Amino acid sequence: MIMKNDKTNSNGKSEMKESELTDFFIDGLKDIYWAEKHLAKALKKMEKAATSDKLKEAFSSHQIETEEQISRIEEVFNLMDRTARGKKCAAMAGLIEEAEELIEETEKGSMVRDVALIAAAQKIEHYEIATYGTLATLASVLGSEKIKNILGEILEEEKAADIKLTELATSNVNEAAMQD
């Protein structure tokens, strides 16, 4: 990986040409940076929209975790000697839009609202899991264990968030079915 120190030779001049793979990695980083920033806002709306306290709590804690993930992505940009900058993630924009639609289409205070929110949130987590999995592998291929570890940590948080949602879904879907 093209790190700060790799860039300068003994004369202190930048010499190493950046590979296309590094560019591809940076693009992916910009994409997930944009995605996480927008998700941080969306999770606040999802928390407000949720019916059960358990789901509100799950969104709230993942929102805080998301803010920390944003800081760690900034750290990765820094390690790459790049300015942290986002690039619109069409996938996350669509997933958030879908979540907003589901909020409009379901009744406030209903269990079905929660079932819909959990479904939307799990699609988001799965997108994040795929993205961080790829980025962590790329970081490893590019030779940065440190960056690989940071992205690997975030990946584990996304997996844990997904598992938590699955647990909530199991109990919520059952309750929603009983209400009908």
Residues lying near Fe ion in the complex (CB under 5 A) are found at: 31, 66, 69, 89, 91, 128, 158, 161
Interface pick for Zn ion out of 1, 26, 32, 89 (rule CB under 5 A): 89
Q: How many CB atoms lie within 10 A of CB 102?
A: 18
Q: Closest residue (Cβ) to Zn ion?
A: 89
Nearest 10 degrees: CA dihedral of 88, 58, 117, 123? 50
Q: Is 31 in the site for Zn ion (CB under 5 A)?
A: yes
CA 28 from chain centre, in angstroms, equals 12
Closer CB to Fe ion, 49 or 96, in the complex: 96
- Which of Fe ion, Zn ion, none does 47 bind, CB closer than 5 to 8 A by kind? none
Whole-angstrom distance, CA of residue 114 vs CA of residue 109: 9
Closer CB to Zn ion, 95 or 161, in the complex: 95
- Which of Zn ion, Fe ion, none does 40 bind, CB closer than 5 to 8 A by kind? none
How many separate helices (H) and strands (E) can be counted in the chain? 5, 0
Are 162 and 125 in contact, with CB atoms under 8 Å apart?
A: yes
Q: How far is the CB of 131 from Zn ion (least distance, A)?
A: 8
Q: Is 128 in the site for Zn ion (CB under 5 A)?
A: no
The enclosing H or E element of 129 equals: helix 111-141
Q: Is 96 in the site for Zn ion (CB under 5 A)?
A: no
User: How many residues does the structure list for the chain?
Assistant: 180
Q: What are phi and psi of 121, to 5 degrees?
A: -65, -35
Closer CB to Zn ion, 31 or 157, in the complex: 31
Closer CB to Zn ion, 132 or 164, in the complex: 132
Closer CB to Zn ion, 43 or 89, in the complex: 89
Q: Enumerate binding residues for Zn ion (CB under 5 A).
A: 31, 89-91
